Structures are given as structure tokens and as C-alpha cells.
Amino acid sequence: MASFATHLVVVVVTMLFAAMASAEMLQDVCVADLSNAVKVNGYTCKDSTQITPEDFYFKGLANIAATNTSTGSVVTGANVEKLPGLNTLGLSMSRIDYAPNGLNPPHVHPRASEIIFVLEGQLYVGFVTTAGKLIAKNLNKGDVFTFPKGLIHFQKNIANSPASVLAAFDSQLPGTQSLVASLFGALPDDILAKSFQLKHKQVKKIKLRYAPKK
């Protein structure tokens, strides 16, 4: 009897996971209602009678962004917040522009894997596994590279000329957490000092560059 009950539980759990994995939309589209403050793991659907072509259109990736930033890179996102028609579709894009020798600093996307296509330039890119191994490669125009979900990764322009990539994600809102900015913008001084083996005055000096989020 116990054996039958165990098998029954396994079967039910397996069926539930299979159902979740194969869940289908119950309507053609669910355009994000960005004006609605209520969120249930995402955006609620806009009234279908109010949907317009503009909900599915975004031209922000067409132009090169100004890269005169502290790191020499700029990310232009085309996610559900810019393109409401992406809601529930599980995909989004970004364009990343790099100044000569510019860097997209180490960061993670907690909700998505990423794949990039080099539009122009030469890049050194890579990610770090949970075992601490660096997987990195030099890329040229036309090359493709992927970064697994949740792993630390980066891209650096290794040329003296500008570079650009297009990135695609398997989430309508992949999220980005910059490691240095998150750590030095949020954690207490004593935690940082002990973690990085720094003096408190060194920590305070670094933290001046990263204002805490409110």
C-alpha cells in the first residue's frame, strides 16, 4: 500500500511539473498594462480592445548610444517595460554599445540566459561557473556567444574602435544585478572589509562611487 501511495505521489508530481512546463496562453496576447500598479509576478493584461501596433513596436535599438560613461558601455533594453507586447512571451532583447576599450562590468541576469551577436568590433567576453572556472573567448564581428542564466559574466571591447552587440534573453524582464555596484552600494562596511580583506577607509572610498538604492 505504501509503495502504491509513493508511486501515486511521484506520478502526480510529475504530471504537475509537465503541466507547468507545457502551460499555454489562454489568449492571443497579454499586452502589459504598465499603468496598473497591481503586479502578480509580472504585469496584468491590457484590455484587448485597447491594444495598438505601438504595443509591439520599439525602435530604440536602431541607433548607437553615447558611450561616455564611467565604464565606457551603454545597455539599451527592449524588455516588457519598453515593449508591452512582450508580456508573458518570455523573450526580450538589448543592444550594448562600447567605447574603445569599454567594459560591460561583471553582472548577472537572475531570470534569463543570454545570447549575444557581435554587430561590430572585437570583444573579450566570458562567464564564471559556480566552480569558479572562467569560460572566456575573443569575439569578432558576426560571432555569437551565450551566457547561462544566473552566472557572472562580462564583455570588454579589446579594440581602439567602438563595438556593438545585440543580446537576446529568454525572459521578458531578465533583470540585471551589477556585482560591484550591488555590493558596495548596499552592504555594510564591516561585511565588505572582511569579505575583500580591505581596510575600512578603503571601503568607504570605494562606496563613495556607488550611491545606495532607496
Q: Which residue's entry shows cell 562590468?
A: 105
Strands (E), the chain: 73-78, 92-98, 103-108, 114-120, 123-128, 134-139, 144-147, 152-157, 163-169, 177-178
109 known member of a binding site: yes
* Closest by CA position to 75, among listed 137, 167, 153, 138: 167
Q: Which residue's entry shows cell 540566459?
A: 113
Rounded to whole angstroms, the Cα distance separating 170 from 50 reads 27
Q: Which residue's entry shows cell 500598479?
A: 37
Q: Please, what is the end-to-end C-alpha distance for the chain in angstroms?
A: 56
153 known member of a binding site: yes
Rounded to whole angstroms, the Cα distance separating 63 from 76 reads 10
Residue 109 Cα to chain centre, angstroms: 4
200 known member of a binding site: no
Report the binding-site residues for oxalate.
104, 109, 114
As annotated, the binding site for Mn(2+) includes 107, 109, 114, 153
Mark the binding-site residues, compressed into ranges: 104, 107, 109, 114, 153
